[in-house]
Structure 1
Amino acid sequence: MPALEQFLGTSAGLSAATITRLTVQWQDEARAFNGRDLSAADYVYVWADGVHLNVRLDEAKLCLLVVVGVRVDGRKELIALAEGYRESAGSWADLLRDCKRRGMRAPVLAVGDGALGFWNALREVFPETREQRCWFHKIGNVLAALPKSAHPGAKKALAEIWNAEDRDHARRAVAAFKLAYGAKFGKAVAKVVDDLDELLAFYDFPAEHWVHLRTTNPIESTFATVRHRTKVTKGPGSKAAGLAMAFKLIEAAQQRWRAVNAPHLVALVRAGARFERGKLVERPAAEPVTSTATAA
């Protein structure tokens, strides 16, 4: 996307008139994207996060509420992008209600940081959706409650939990973590124990999907690029322009996103199949076939 590269300072400069025209065009495209019909898309998994970007002028730092989903065929796709407050349940509820109004079905599982206002909003709008806390954020929170000298051992102990071969082994690793750190660092241990069901929810899904469901990496990795770009250009100029720029960058990145592992299993998850230790143990019951006799 040459125009985007130039706009972001990686090529020859653009005229002020061209920048203005592109900004208006991208804002229009972002508005159209956020108003599109979602009834034909079926998102089985979703990741949610609030991402802060620097903007210049006198406006406050821009926070983007981002929702990325996995369609029933296994493809990843941006669902929604809006300005809001990361910790605000109201901001997230507005976004989710709008998605539902436009035809979005309840996802089977949502993944995000525990600090998000997203969870209260999710329980209101899509109460049937299960919750998975992001391990990347959780590890950061746990380490923040520990002295630096304890970080190497704690990281290894936490990896024994999130990288366990199944839920039973993970629970045993939690017990070991509690035994090792509970006496001196109760607050750090509580950050794991208090959220344990939501931290281990991914174990109820196909093992091939665990690597995707443990963290919000699809958003984190994409926005590392967005943050870098906005930093290079000293902020995109305004909140509306910043949202438009982020939309165009994600749109470009999305073309390189890979489908989840074993994409054929996503449809089974949507259909209600049961998995134990990551393996399929019960397919969804087939719809009963009924027939009616008709007189000849």
Structure 2
Amino acid sequence: MTRENIAALETLRKKIEEADGDLLRGLMHETIQLLMSAEADGLCRAEYGKRSEVRVNSRNGYRDRALDTRVGTLDLKVPKLRSGSYYPSWLLEPRKRSEKALMQVVCEAWVEGVSTRKMDRLVKTLGIAGIGRSTVSEMAKSLDDRVHAFLSRPLDRGPYRYVWLDGTYLKCRESGSVESVSVVIATGVNRDGYRDLLGMDVFTMESETSWTEFIRGLVERGLSGVDLVISDAHPGLKAAIARLLPGSAWNRCYTHFTRNVIDKVPKKGQEKAAWMLRSVAGQLGAEAAQEQYDRVADRLSGEYPQLTDLLDEAREEVLAYTHFPLAHWRKIRTNNPMENLNSQIKRRSRDVGIFPNRESIVRLVGTLLLEQNEDWMTGRRYMRLDSSGEASGSPDEYLVSADQVPGCETILTPH
């Protein structure tokens, strides 16, 4: 491994070693158990549970041992031997060094994948003579199976009335060069009103074919009952949604749309244009929002003729959310929930820099998504899906009054 990759892994270790999540605690626990088992097998000169002519000792149950770490208390089972005793001295003193080395093992496995050579080198920092291929295989299987099971699980908590789709780009080594690949993610609201991470994939590019395969996979796993899909205006994605989710409405992310408009406005007029567009999102009824959009579109098109086609063509796309319960508007008119998730992925993957392969992206991002999904499922309900609806705050929090926008007093009167 290059010096840069070692530095990146060390940075990642520092970022996550103080985390208090069940996932990281579980990975640490499994890693320690596997390493103790491998060391006990070495003392017995034979693998646990297997007959061997060279065996010199055998197991005799376990003793319980609580280990306090910076990721929480781990309840360990230390192997006992029939003859003599075994205790993992590398877990005693110095505690900080052993924790650091263990975290390095977990981080390396997390990002780089697991190989006999890598794990053998890393566990030697703990004072363990070596590690067998079968133990390495079990570590790899434990890590990757956890992510695979999560990403391929049945989507049986539908109907998923609202679905958000988005992607972010990460650097990855491909065929001897560094390329940007798209990590795409789908989230939804399940029948109980909780957010649910539905799936992820890695694309070479966000083409219609790629999006079609991704959404088809979601449907095959059980995605159903989708009333509205929220995403940006990627043509391939729009086509895939229309083909595989017939009957579903599509809402163009209002935040992305606003950026598209602002990019076509001279710098001195951008702030004013942004406030005008926000006034549409602040309306408290479908008719009011549509009328406000028309007033804003007329005003902006008059000042900036280059916006005319964009504003006219996008009208129905960005106002699709107004056909759904008012209490849900703030959460379904944009892809902001996905933007927040993408920011987390960017922040955590920045410590890795360039991923060695796509499998390592799936391993790291999939693990982060699994952890996030557990938080969502045990946290506060995202929205109420009955007829009355529920919103953590109402749309009028975002209402923009006309006197806040210089020059708009006579045209942007809020409803």
TM-score bin, normalised by smaller chain: 0.7 to 0.9
Q: Does 1:229 align with 2:348?
A: yes
Give the corresponding residue for 2:181.
Answer: 62
Q: TM-score, normalised by structure 2?
A: 0.58
Q: Does 1:188 align with 2:276?
A: no
CA shift at 1:32, angstroms?
A: 2.4
Between the two proteins, the alignment pairs up a number of residues equal to: 265
Closer/same/farther in 2, CA of residues 226 and 64 from structure 1, 3 Å limit: same
Q: Does 1:44 align with 2:161?
A: yes
CA shift at 1:52, angstroms?
A: 1.0
Give the corresponding residue for 2:358.
Answer: 239
Q: Does 1:259 align with 2:259?
A: no
CA shift at 1:267, angstroms?
A: 10
Match of 2:276 among 149, 152, 157: 157
CA distance in 1, matches of 2:12, 2:276: 45
Cα contact 1:75–1:260 (8 A) shared by 2: yes
RMSD of equivalent CA atoms = 2.7
CA distance in 1, matches of 2:143, 2:180: 20
Which letter does structure 2 place at the counterpart of 1:200? L
Q: Does 1:35 align with 2:123?
A: no
Match of 2:196 among 77, 86, 109: 77
Closer/same/farther in 2, CA of residues 27 and 190 from structure 1, 3 Å limit: farther
1:62-110 CA-to-partner distances (Å, cap 9, x unmatched) read: 2111100000110001001011255311111101111222222141110
Cα contact 1:55–1:237 (8 A) shared by 2: yes
CA distance in 1, matches of 2:161, 2:388: 8
Partner secondary structure for residue 224 of structure 1: helix
Give the corresponding residue for 1:293.
Answer: none
Q: Does 1:21 align with 2:142?
A: no
CA distance in 2, matches of 1:227, 1:192: 31
Provide structure 2 residue ranges, at least 5 long, that are not aligned to the other structure: 1-8, 18-99, 114-139, 390-394, 396-415
Provide structure 1 residue ranges, at least 5 long, that are not aligned to the other structure: 269-276, 278-296
Closer/same/farther in 2, CA of residues 17 and 8 from structure 1, 3 Å limit: closer
CA distance in 1, matches of 2:285, 2:334: 17
Q: What fraction of aligned residue pairs are identical, expressed as a percent? A: 22
Partner secondary structure for residue 283 of structure 2: coil
Partner secondary structure for residue 55 of structure 1: strand
Give the corresponding residue for 1:274.
Answer: none
Cα contact 2:151–2:366 (8 A) shared by 1: no
Query: Higher relative contact order at CA 8 Å, sep ≥6: structure 1 or structure 2?
Result: 1
CA distance in 2, matches of 1:87, 1:205: 28
CA distance in 1, matches of 2:367, 2:272: 41
CA shift at 1:191, angstroms?
A: 2.2
Partner secondary structure for residue 49 of structure 1: strand
CA shift at 1:18, angstroms?
A: 4.1
Give the corresponding residue for 2:220.
Answer: 101
CA distance in 1, matches of 2:14, 2:298: 53
CA distance in 1, matches of 2:169, 2:341: 13
Closer/same/farther in 2, CA of residues 26 and 60 from structure 1, 3 Å limit: farther
With 30-39 and 142-151 compared, the bigger mean Cα shift is at 30-39
CA shift at 1:256, angstroms?
A: 3.5
1:161-214 CA-to-partner distances (Å, cap 9, x unmatched) read: 122112222222222222322134233343232121121111111111111101
Closer/same/farther in 2, CA of residues 40 and 156 from structure 1, 3 Å limit: closer
Give the corresponding residue for 1:132.
Answer: 251
CA shift at 1:131, angstroms?
A: 0.6
Match of 2:335 among 210, 216, 224: 216
CA distance in 1, matches of 2:387, 2:227: 10
